[in-house]
């Protein structure tokens, strides 16, 4: 499997998916023109990764902001991770949020209530 790396832009997050280390990172702003199109390679990569994942996968999600259409795509990403966890592999989701950003904390908590994978809420400085 190849590393999937997408350079962040003004409206799209930086994405780094590394099958060698089992590290998945999504960071920045997610307000793409077409969220489904943007996240499709990520979901496809996770589908493939799920066939032979690392024993432990660490997911770092550090979004400043995401729009409604991105939230559905992020849920799709998390559901792929949940499927990997259900197959008996360790998945750790680190959800980063800035200390004053109640909305981002709540978003992480909402996802945590839907996805049966351990989330670690990590507060960062502004």
Q: Model confidence over 27-74: pLDDT tens digits?
A: 999 999 999 999 999 999 999 999 999 999 999 999 999 999 999 999
pTM above 0.85, yes or no: yes
Residue 68 phi, psi (nearest 5): -60, -45
CATH code, 70:
3.30.750.24
Q: What's the number of domains the chain is made of?
A: 1
Average pLDDT over residues 110-116: 96
How far is residue 7's CA from residue 72's CA, in Å, rounded to a whole number? Answer: 21
How far is residue 100's CA from residue 95's CA, in Å, rounded to a whole number? Answer: 15
Confidence label for 75 from pLDDT (cuts 50, 70 and 90): very high
**Model confidence at 126: pLDDT above 90:** no
How far is residue 50's CA from residue 83's CA, in Å, rounded to a whole number? Answer: 8
Q: Which domain does 71 fall in, by range? A: 4-124
- Nearest by Cα to 83 from 118, 117, 111, 55: 117
């Amino acid at each position: 499997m190849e590393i999937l790396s997408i350079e962040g832009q003004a409206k799209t997050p930086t994405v780094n998916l590394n099958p060698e280390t089992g590290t998945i990172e999504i960071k920045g702003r997610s307000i793409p023109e077409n969220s489904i199109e943007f996240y499709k390679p990520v979901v496809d990569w996770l589908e493939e990764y799920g066939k032979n994942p690392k024993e432990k996968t660490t997911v770092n999600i550090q979004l400043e902001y995401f729009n409604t259409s991105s939230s559905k795509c992020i849920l799709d990403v998390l559901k792929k991770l949940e499927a990997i966890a259900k197959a008996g592999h360790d998945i750790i989701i680190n959800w980063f949020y800035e200390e004053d950003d109640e909305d981002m904390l709540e978003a992480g908590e909402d996802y945590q209530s839907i996805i049966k994978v351990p989330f670690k809420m990590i507060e960062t400085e502004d």
